[in-house]
Amino acid sequence: MTQTALMLVDESPIMLQIRLKRAWDAIEARKHADNGEYRLHRALALADYAARGLSCKQLAEAVGLPSTWIYHLLQYGQFMHYASTVVDAPIFAMHETQFRRYWQEAAAGAGAAPRCDGDHEARVRARREYRYQLFAQILRRMLIEGATTPPDPAQEKGRTTRRLITKILAACSDGKFHLLSDIATAVEADMAVVRHSCERLVKWGSHHTFGERRPAPPSHGSVAYRFVKGGKKKIDVTVLQAELKSVLDDIDTVINGHHVHFSQQAMKLAFAELRKVIDRIAR
């Protein structure tokens, strides 16, 4: 009886969402070493949990992305699952942009999805049948035209940039300033290309990294960069200022008060409180 109850709870929407988030985070952690299959892995994860009963809205809530975006990625994952069950061979490579183009062309030829005035289950069944009808057309076309098409230039450029940034951070994310010329030498890339990637890190803080620049001699590329690898937790600056005001006021009183009244113990307590506040408001 207890085991049955646990099994039911384990398959509840909340538990499924928790598991999906855990799987999603694991995929995100492998993003820069995934050899272009990052989006496919995310799509397949969404399709897996949709098959277990999560709605598009619940999927979006679990991973923190808009429902519309989730819907399109879910379609891609569902097609790849369908193709792997129909074709008696290892799943072939197919970019999401290629699938999206095939889907749009197949949908244009088939017309709008049929309307169904029956109950909820009948509507779901009609939508599923329409989806698999388009999947079958796409698969036939792929088998005729070949499993792969030339990669999307924009996607290929993005992968190249991500690989370069990964190299830069592996060599220079020690919190010290590095000359642009030294970074380019370390990653064996052109200085102009390296500078573009470094500027992205400084401007956008991608790859969970804080970036900073300062001037340098022209012979060394005119700039130097400093990178500090961080985690996923973030702090809103407005919240930080509001939450730390009282703590900083106390520290200011201790520091700027009469030197006779200066207390090392009071500073220790204030410093400990400062750490607590930062840990509490980090998200």
Token pair, residue 188, equals 């064996």
Say if residues 75 and 56 touch (Cβ distance below 8 Å): no
The pLDDT, as a whole number, for residue 1 is 44
Q: Is 100 helix (H, G, I), strand (E, B) or coil?
A: helix
Q: 61 burial class (0-12, 13-18, 19+ CB within 10 angstroms)? A: middle
For the chain, how many residues are written?
Answer: 283
pLDDT at res. 199: 92
Q: Does domain 153-229 have CATH number 1.10.357.10?
A: no
State the pTM of this model.
Answer: 0.50
Q: What pLDDT score does 214 carry?
A: 94
The torsion defined by the Cα of 114, 116, 120 and 126, in degrees rounded to 10, comes to -40
pLDDT in tens, the chain (283 residues): 444 444 444 578 889 898 999 988 888 877 766 555 778 888 889 999 998 889 889 999 999 888 888 988 999 998 988 887 776 544 556 778 888 888 888 888 776 666 656 667 777 788 888 888 888 888 888 777 765 455 556 666 777 888 899 999 999 999 899 999 999 999 999 999 999 999 988 988 778 888 999 999 988 889 999 999 887 777 777 888 888 888 888 888 888 876 666 678 888 888 888 888 888 887 7
pLDDT recorded at residue 259:
67
pLDDT at 172: 92
**Segment holding 176, helix H or strand E:** strand 174-179
- Residue 96: the pLDDT is 81
